[in-house]
Amino acid sequence: METGELFIGRRYQFSLLSGLVFVTIAALILSVGATVWIAVIRPGMERERLWQRHCALCRAAHACLDRLAQRRPADVTRGEWEHVVGWTYNAKANCLECPEYIKDYPRFERFVGEFRERLAGEVNIETIDWIWDEIEAISSLPWGEHRPTVRIWIRALEHGGERHLPSKAEALKRLRHRTGQDFGDDVEKWRQWFENDTGSG
């Protein structure tokens, strides 16, 4: 009986030890799994969701620009419209395509929604300026110096009020704000500055 009791005791100890080893291994596996989930899998899923959201916004913004390109205002020449819309495509590609440059995703979403609403109504040069204002607010990449509407405002300064152009006062205010320059209503000085600044002839 003593031998049998000893055998049973050892068997019980072995079972207890095996159970402890199993629990320890299971806890270790769970700990490693949780660490991998927190450090690798979950961030990867979040990055993927962010990327999908980002791509959807970029596609929507591009579709809006495609529609805008077909809506040239009557008071803007074909060449001028192609110029301002083309540069706006460039701004969108350079400032909004890379997620790292986006500093305000909620505003990016609002921008796309409002862009669609604006396309339901009249579009004009102010629409282009509004897009650039939004891009500068959404993106951390400085791109404002490439804003293409300056020469349109110079023309408005000369012919303000004609063919639905803004008034001369409005044109001058826009030029001062966009360029940081002030040549008053001297159209030739504005043109000279613009040509020197952009290298256009």
**CA gap 98, 198 in Å, rounded:** 26
Output the pLDDT for position 169. 79
Tell whether the model's pLDDT for residue 23 goes beyond 70.
no
Asked whether residue 65 carries a pLDDT value surpassing 90, the answer given is yes
Q: Parse the chain into domains and list their residue ranges.
A: 56-143, 149-201
Instruction: Give the pLDDT band (50/70/90) at residue 27.
Output: low
pLDDT: which is higher, 45 or 104:
104
Q: If you average pLDDT over residues 41-50, what whole number do you get?
A: 70
pLDDT score of 134 more than 60: yes
DSSP structure string for 94-148: HHHSSGGGBS-HHHHHHHHHHHHHHHTS---HHHHHHHHHHHHHHBSS--GGG-T
Q: What is the pLDDT of residues 155-195, one digit of tens each?
A: 777 776 555 566 777 778 877 877 778 888 788 887 777 77
Average pLDDT along the chain: 79
Cα–chain center distance at 4: 78
Residue 121 has pLDDT above 90, yes or no: yes
Backbone angles phi, psi at 179, to 5 degrees: -105, -20
Residue 58 has pLDDT above 60, yes or no: yes
